[in-house]
Structure 1
Amino acid sequence: MASTRLFLSAKNAAALDAELMSSGGFSLDQLMELAGLSCAHAVYKSYPPDQKNKVLVIAGPGNNGGDGLVAARHLRLLGYNPVIYYPKRPNKDIYNRLFTQLQNLKVPFTEDFESALQSTDQVLDAIFGFSFHPPIRSPFDAVISLLEKSTKPVISIDIPSSWDVDSGPPEAGNLGSGFLPQVLISLTAPKPAAKFFVGEGHRHFLGGRFISAEIAEKWGFELPAYPGTEQVVELPVAK
């Protein structure tokens, strides 16, 4: 297990991404590829393909959804059978290329989320990232409602969708207040919402094995020791 010294707020996460793509020299494609690869490895560690082979990937219209699409490609190559629900596909070059890559691997897309949820072994939540602001609009309001009721294990990328990146889950009675995934994959550094990710048997991974020590020091967070050639490192979860 490892620990991090500081959470990265929504404001700082956006600013850090901007810096990585300017003076840091990274392209959006590179950051998405690194994030998606980390997510695929975290899925493998949580639910190997010989245990839970079917993965339903819920991709939102932004970069979090792009991370999920990259993860789906890697999961296919790791021996899983992913199915993708992608109802709000933006017509942008980066997402069109990810879509084509998945088509070339014969990864199916579905428009029937409820049926796909019933037949899957696990769910990869790639709907909303750290820039999410309520309300949750259709069709994702129905998706979150179904996930709250489902017993299928859910793995969320960066923050559980419907949660506020800084203040965590919605207040009781609001949509998403009962949504708690089994696994959380923080990217670059945990966000403040991760403080609310608690529970026996839950697992928290960090992916971001590309950040320099100088960048981490500048933004005030600690780089954990990634073991061997691993792309993710597991963080402790409060019970």
Structure 2
Amino acid sequence: MSAGAFSIDQLMELAGLSVSQAVFKLQPLSKGKRILVACGPGNNGGDGLVAARHLFHYGYQPTVYYPKQSKNDLYQRLTTQLRSLSIPFTTDFATALTQTDHIVDAIFGFSFSGEVREPFPSIISMLRDTKIPVLAVDAPSSWDIESGPPGEGPGKGFMPTALISLTAPKPLVKHFTGRHFLGGRFLSPQMADKYGLDLPNYAGIDQIVEVPVGDGEKEGEKL
């Protein structure tokens, strides 16, 4: 990403915008405005914070679950922006789950590895078991970037309703069976050629494009 002279702020803003547009496609306002955004402590959580701000401006009613808040200046500014819009933060995920129409899983992204630590094991278990639609950001939380869903632990059996891959699909998409979106309308043709990426055709002003799971699998294998 540094080769394209993008800052982390820019990339997070573009990612969060893509996530918010995927929610708009999956959950039109007429089907329910309440969106629960579950954010982890890293960049994936930052994408969720940005998405929550955009969702508010679209007319949704986001609630943010962000139990491990970063002291980094960027994340502090993102949370300040949400609080200035009176977007609520909750510490009770189980109750919030009963009061929402759609969920954004922005807990762990493609860089996740190792053990899922508290309070996230129970959160991922609830995401797995809920009947409410879940959109995962870049990777379903607890999934391995290469091998996909874990064979044991809280993420075993977790298959979100939809996935938005940011910049390009990751190898784990081979194991995903829900609706699949791509987001990241900023890569140059030169960068795509360098990494062997087959960039999709985005329509109009859309920052996302939906692709069949089979197509995402082929693109993921190129990475």
TM-score (norm 1): 0.88
CA-CA distance at 1:220 after TM superposition: 1.1
What are structure 2's unaligned runs of at least 5 residues? 215-223
Other-structure match for 1:65: 45
Other-structure match for 2:201: 225
Q: Say which SS state the counterpart of residue 119 (structure 1) adopts.
A: coil
Other-structure match for 2:72: 92
In 1: Cα distance, 2:171 partner to 2:156 partner: 16
Runs of 4+ in structure 1 displaced over 4 angstroms? none
In 2: Cα distance, 1:151 partner to 1:228 partner: 33
What letter matches 2:35 in structure 1?
A: V
| Alignment pair present for 1:33 and 2:9 | no
1:163-189 per-position Cα deviation (integer Å, ceiling 9, x unaligned)? 001110011x43211111001000000
Other-structure match for 2:190: 214
What letter matches 1:192 in structure 2?
A: P
Other-structure match for 1:152: 132
What letter matches 1:228 in structure 2?
A: G
What letter matches 1:81 in structure 2?
A: Q
1:140-195 per-position Cα deviation (integer Å, ceiling 9, x unaligned)? 00101111211111000001001001110011x43211111001000000001111
Q: Say which SS state the counterpart of residue 11 (structure 2) adopts.
A: helix
Q: Say which SS state the counterpart of residue 36 (structure 2) adopts.
A: strand
TM-score (norm 2): 0.94
CA-CA distance at 1:203 after TM superposition: 1.2
In 1: Cα distance, 2:128 partner to 2:16 partner: 24
| Alignment pair present for 1:192 and 2:168 | no
Structure with higher helix content: 2
Higher relative contact order (Cα pairs below 8 Å, separated by 6+ residues) = 1
RMSD of aligned residue pairs (Cα, Å): 0.9
Other-structure match for 2:220: none
